[in-house]
Structure 1
Amino acid sequence: MHPIPSRRRWIGLACAALCAAPLAWASGYPDKPVKLVVPYPPGGPTDIVARVVAQKLQEQMGQPFVVDNRPGAGANIGAEAVARSTPDGYTLVVATTAHAINPSLFARLNYSITKDFAPVSQLTSGPLVIVTSPATPVSNVKELIALAKSKPGGLNYASSGNGQSTHLSAELFSAMAGVKMAHVPYKGSAPALTDVMGGQADLMFDTMLSSMPHVKAGKLKALAVTSGQRSPSAPDIPTVAESGLPGYEAIAWNGLLAPAGTPPEVVNRLSAELKKVLENPEVRQRFEAQGFSATWNTPAAYASFLQAEVDKWDKVVKTSGAKID
């Protein structure tokens, strides 16, 4: 047989194999357990979201999705570990609003949220809720702004910590409303809410998960939610924008990131599987019970959202002067 056709045939087969490789890689993924790093302690809102998603991905993809809690340093320890991991789709991180805030807040970070990760999809979005003691003499956002303007710096607001979304959402509010309020940071939502209920702090921008049980029990008064639309979990509570401060929006969100360099075929496979998870009625109901909405988007759309969040919170951090060394 003449050698040239044989060589051509071999080259053709090799090319076909190479072209099919990415497809085979994606269809064969995952063939071992996948680690979902949660940069917060067990039991919190992000951990709850991660465990629901992990369970459903495991059911759909036939391999264990294992939640690995790595809290600390403002959610940076877990994020940095994933940024430095092998980019093969087997180590992922559940990111939050804090990861969009941290580039501006921390003087030194050992990773870049926009350069060291491949965005997969958002998972949830949800508002904070402005709560006050029932004794505070305001019942809506307009009255809160008027009270704050009547005594500059005289109102104080609690937060779950310096630089957290519960802090910077209030700073965004103050900047847009043209008011000054004193910030009192706490180590977590629970002690902060205790002082709001007791009248030691005037108000707080807090997650619905931790604050709404106290609202329902009559121990706190809810003025407004911080999202652009009313929350399905509490449709009677107006938004900040509709009740006194047009244009205001601040949401808490979770999303899934892979290390930069993860093959696009794997990222797209994960994104497609997440779309099924987040359209599942059971998942949507479970998230709504926590005050979240299930939110899917494409990797490109999530990348754009992430950059917009980084830019937005950069301005708020600079205005507030918040900094962590």
Structure 2
Amino acid sequence: MRTLRLVLLACIGIAGPHAFAAPAEGLPAQSVRLVVPFPPGGSTDAIARILAEGLAKELGESVYIDNRPGAATNIGSEWVAKARPDGYTLLFGSSALLVNQIFGPKPGFDPQEGLAPISTVAEVPFVLAAHPDAPFRTPREFVLAARHEPGRLSVASSQLDTYVERLMHVAGVELLHVPYKGGAQAVTDTMSGVVDSTFALAPVLLPLLEAGKLRAIGITSPKRLKDSLPDVPTFVESGVDFIISALYVLQGPVGMEPERLERLNSAVRAVATSGSFKSRLKEIGAKASSSSPEELTELLRKQSSAWEKLAKDHPELLKSR
């Protein structure tokens, strides 16, 4: 499948494990370290490598991926926050850090004080999927089934308990969340019928959906994904106000020179608005985006407020993490 090949190529990188470009004439030969706080091979890593290729061309500087997973992204994020603020150590971060601040595991630093926003990069929605023979086919049918038998329908996920809790909150249903340490086993158990459904990022499930091993029930984007999952209904169109996505952003240590920050922002904007970048992300169920540092700051503030409201409404989540 073309999509699966794309993801595999993105994970492998442009030239082995790293993305490189020769420095342009007259520009410094220093390499940019792009820290990814996730293991190699996942959807986050794949998008980061596509971005690295584009940044290398725009900056005229070599860009390489440095995977530093652990503690739900806290390890890699804190490493960047404590790095020299020269603009050559950057974080390919996500909104997961916002969730950590509120629900845990809490980072050992204040992200607002330690990380400088550069730009958004991509938004990736989540998909609720089930076995092809499942009796529900849309979010509406899933919610009705959950209301008919409260607490019986199971949803598997890898460290996404707060996201599943948010779904229960907005849909007014009680689901049985089954946490997994890794997404692979969660998906395997869904395909075999051990659990009723699974909740994961769209790029993770897309190859299995295309192969017919799983069936998408609903997607959390505001509109349908016309390029990758055109027939999958959104939760919103089914009457469930569940719009949520993983926001991928570029950040750096606080204290970078304004000129360097501006140059990085311009480079991300050029990459994110290019037809190649947008089409490659569309094929794996992601949406390219870019912003000013100020716009990113406001966006993170709004997302943080939404998670804080969930924590206020469900204080038991704060005790369990």
Which of the five TM-score ranges fits, normalised by the shorter chain?
A: 0.7 to 0.9
- Paired AA for residue 172 in structure 2: G
- C-alpha distance 298-130 of structure 1, shift in aligned 2 (>3 A): same
- For 2:302 and 2:38, the matched residues in 1 are separated by 23
- For 2:70 and 2:306, the matched residues in 1 are separated by 24
In the other structure, the counterpart of 1:199 is 193
Listed as ranges, the matches of 1:277-288 within 5 Å are: 277-288=271-282
Pick from 233, 237, 260 the counterpart of residue 238 of structure 1: 233
- Paired AA for residue 201 in structure 1: V
- Paired AA for residue 126 in structure 1: V
Q: Is the CA contact 2:206–2:284 (under 8 Å) kept in the aligned structure 1? A: no
After superposition, give the CA deviation of every residue in 1:221-240 in whole Å (9 maximum; x if it has no partner). 11111011212321221110
> How much is the aligned-residue C-alpha RMSD, in angstroms?
1.8
Aligned: 1:213 with 2:207: yes
In the other structure, the counterpart of 2:17 is none
- For 1:185 and 1:50, the matched residues in 2 are separated by 26
Which is greater in Rg? 1
Q: Is the CA contact 1:268–1:299 (under 8 Å) kept in the aligned structure 2? A: no
Q: Is the CA contact 1:168–1:317 (under 8 Å) kept in the aligned structure 2? A: no
In the other structure, the counterpart of 2:151 is 153
- For 1:31 and 1:304, the matched residues in 2 are separated by 34
In the other structure, the counterpart of 1:58 is 56
- C-alpha distance 36-29 of structure 1, shift in aligned 2 (>3 A): farther
> What TM-score do the two structures reach when normalised by structure 2?
0.86
Q: Is the CA contact 2:119–2:249 (under 8 Å) kept in the aligned structure 1? A: yes
Stretch deviating more after TM superposition (233-242 or 209-218): 209-218
Listed as ranges, the matches of 1:230-269 within 5 Å are: 230-231=224-225, 232-245=227-240, 247-269=241-263
- Paired AA for residue 198 in structure 1: S
Aligned: 1:311 with 2:305: yes
Listed as ranges, the matches of 1:172-191 within 5 Å are: 172-191=166-185
Pick from 162, 171, 178 the counterpart of residue 168 of structure 1: 162
In the other structure, the counterpart of 2:79 is 81
- For 1:91 and 1:190, the matched residues in 2 are separated by 31
In the other structure, the counterpart of 1:139 is 137
- C-alpha distance 133-320 of structure 1, shift in aligned 2 (>3 A): farther
SS of alignment partner, residue 230 of structure 1:
coil
- C-alpha distance 208-229 of structure 1, shift in aligned 2 (>3 A): same
SS of alignment partner, residue 322 of structure 1:
helix
In the other structure, the counterpart of 2:23 is none
- For 2:32 and 2:189, the matched residues in 1 are separated by 41
- Paired AA for residue 171 in structure 2: A
- For 2:233 and 2:49, the matched residues in 1 are separated by 30
- For 2:261 and 2:76, the matched residues in 1 are separated by 20
- C-alpha distance 321-290 of structure 1, shift in aligned 2 (>3 A): farther
**Structure 1 residue ranges (4+ consecutive) displaced by more than 6 angstroms after TM superposition:** none
Q: Is the CA contact 1:171–1:320 (under 8 Å) kept in the aligned structure 2? A: no
- Paired AA for residue 158 in structure 1: A
- For 2:121 and 2:315, the matched residues in 1 are separated by 28
Identity of aligned residues (%): 36
- For 1:68 and 1:34, the matched residues in 2 are separated by 10
- Paired AA for residue 257 in structure 2: P
> What TM-score do the two structures reach when normalised by structure 1?
0.85
Structure 1 unaligned residues grouped into runs of 5+ = 1-27
- Paired AA for residue 81 in structure 2: A
Deviation at 1:316, TM superposition (A): 2.8
Number of residues paired by the alignment?
Answer: 293
In the other structure, the counterpart of 1:16 is none
Deviation at 1:265, TM superposition (A): 2.3
SS of alignment partner, residue 290 of structure 2:
coil
Q: Is the CA contact 2:100–2:106 (under 8 Å) kept in the aligned structure 1? A: no
- For 1:46 and 1:32, the matched residues in 2 are separated by 25
Q: Is the CA contact 1:159–1:189 (under 8 Å) kept in the aligned structure 2? A: yes
- C-alpha distance 74-178 of structure 1, shift in aligned 2 (>3 A): same
- Paired AA for residue 300 in structure 2: L
